[in-house]
Structures are given as C-alpha cells and as structure tokens.
Structure 1
Amino acid sequence: MSLNDSLADTNKKAKEVSEKFFHSTYDYYKLKIFQQLTASFGIVFKTIIIGSMLIIGLTFIAIAAAFLIGKALGNYTQGFLIVGGVFLFLSLLAFILRKHMSNFIVRTLSKKFFN
C-alpha cells in the first residue's frame, strides 16, 4: 500500500467519523431545543391558567371584603375605598421590590432551563 492510498484511507475514515459526529450532535441539539421549548411553553401555559384563576378568585374576595367592610362601617363606598387603598399599597410595594422579583424569576427559570 502506498503512502497516498494510506492517506486517502485515513482521510476517508476521518470524514466518516466527522460526519457521524456532526449528525449525532445535530440530533442532540434538535432534541435539546425541543425539550427547552416544551418546558418553556408548559411554564407559560400553567402560569396563564393559574394566574387567571387567581385573579378571578382575588376579584371576588376583594368585592366580598369591600362589601363586608362597607357594611361594618355603614357605608359601602368607604369599604370599596379601603380595599382599593390596600391594592394600591400592594402595587406600590411590588413596584419597589420589582428588581428583587426579576432576579428571583431569572434565577428560578435559569435553574430549570439550563438543567
């Protein structure tokens, strides 16, 4: 066997190995992207469903609390103003803590995403 034949044979084997590696790596990343997309969509879907149910429940609780406070005070308007003030206070608190909430969300999602 000549040197040229030996080099051609080695070249052919290296090409086959590299093509096999490329295809297996491509398939791996395709599956990894699919896994990450389904996990992300699952999180978004669950968040939307749970969040909408939570908002509906909190709305009814807030209305009931406003009527209860209004009845106790003898003026329903005051009850609704107090409940509205509580929600404004909670909104202000959330606004002040928004950076901490963002950091918490990023840390939580990054653990799930990069696992």
Structure 2
Amino acid sequence: MKLPDGLMESTGEAYGYAKAYVEQQIEYAKLDVAERISTAISSAITTIVVLQLVFFFCGFLSIALGIYVGQRMDSYVKGFLLVGGIYALFTIVLIIFRRPLVTNPVVSRIIKIFFEVK
C-alpha cells in the first residue's frame, strides 16, 4: 500500500520540526546550566572576598580589643586571653547551632540558584 505524497511530505516536515525542536531544547538546557553554574561560581567568589574582608576586620579589631583590655587589666596576656575566650565561646555556640545558622542558609541559597524558576 502506497501512502499519498502529501502525507509523506507532512511526515517529513513534522520530523524536521521535531528534530529542530529537540536540538533547540538541548541548546537551551546547556545555556541554562552554564548560566546557573556561572551564577553559583560568581556568588561563591563574592562571598569568599567579603568573608576575607570580614576576617581582616575582625582580626584587627581583635588585636585592638586585646591591647585595650590588656591596658585596662594591666596585663596584655589577660587581655588577649579574654579575647580568645570570647572567640572560643563564639565557636562553641556556632558548633551547637551550626545547622540553623550555617547549613540551612547555604543549602537554601544553592537550591535557589540552581532551581530558580524564571
């Protein structure tokens, strides 16, 4: 049984359109993944730079606080021990509450970057 020529042409056109559509979707997916990865990397780099600046600020502030407290207590050792104790206490609190303070916000940010609907 021979199919009509019009049907063969329509089938060929439909196949061509479907093939072009699939190729476009693959290209779109590649571009979308590249954009999301670029956004994640740039966000990570920005965060790292800001954190470095915060660490420098905290470092200089800690030295200044240690010297100030040391002068008030007439012992630089006691001043720097007090500042170290404050950091130890801060570290313990951070370890205890790491999930709500660190883990959850980081995971939420990554999920938001990768699964953001446009």
Report the TM-score when normalising by structure 1.
Answer: 0.89
**Does 2:115 correspond to 1:114?**
yes
Q: Which runs of 5+ in 2 are unaligned?
A: none
The letter of the residue matching 1:63 is I
CA distance in 2: counterparts of 1:41 and 1:108, whole angstroms: 12
**Does 2:12 correspond to 1:25?**
no
**Does 2:79 correspond to 1:62?**
no
CA distance in 1: counterparts of 2:83 and 2:7, whole angstroms: 83
CA distance in 1: counterparts of 2:3 and 2:109, whole angstroms: 58
Q: Name the residue aligned to 1:94.
A: 94
**Does 2:105 correspond to 1:104?**
yes
Runs of 4+ in structure 1 over 2 Å off: 4-11
SS in 2 for 1:3: coil
The letter of the residue matching 2:27 is D
1:15, distance to aligned residue in structure 2 (A): 1.5
Q: Does structure 1 retain, via aligned residues, the 8 Å contact 2:36–2:113?
A: no
Instruction: Report which structure shows greater RCO (CA 8 Å, sep ≥6).
Output: 2
Report the TM-score when normalising by structure 2.
Answer: 0.87
Q: Does structure 1 retain, via aligned residues, the 8 Å contact 2:40–2:110?
A: no
CA offsets per residue over residues 61-95 of structure 1, 9 Å max, x none?
00110010010000000000000000011111111
* Amino-acid identity (%): 24
Q: Name the residue aligned to 2:5.
A: 5
The letter of the residue matching 1:110 is I
CA distance in 1: counterparts of 2:53 and 2:40, whole angstroms: 20
CA offsets per residue over residues 37-62 of structure 1, 9 Å max, x none?
11011111101111111111100000
Of 65-74 and 13-22, the range deviating more from structure 2: 13-22
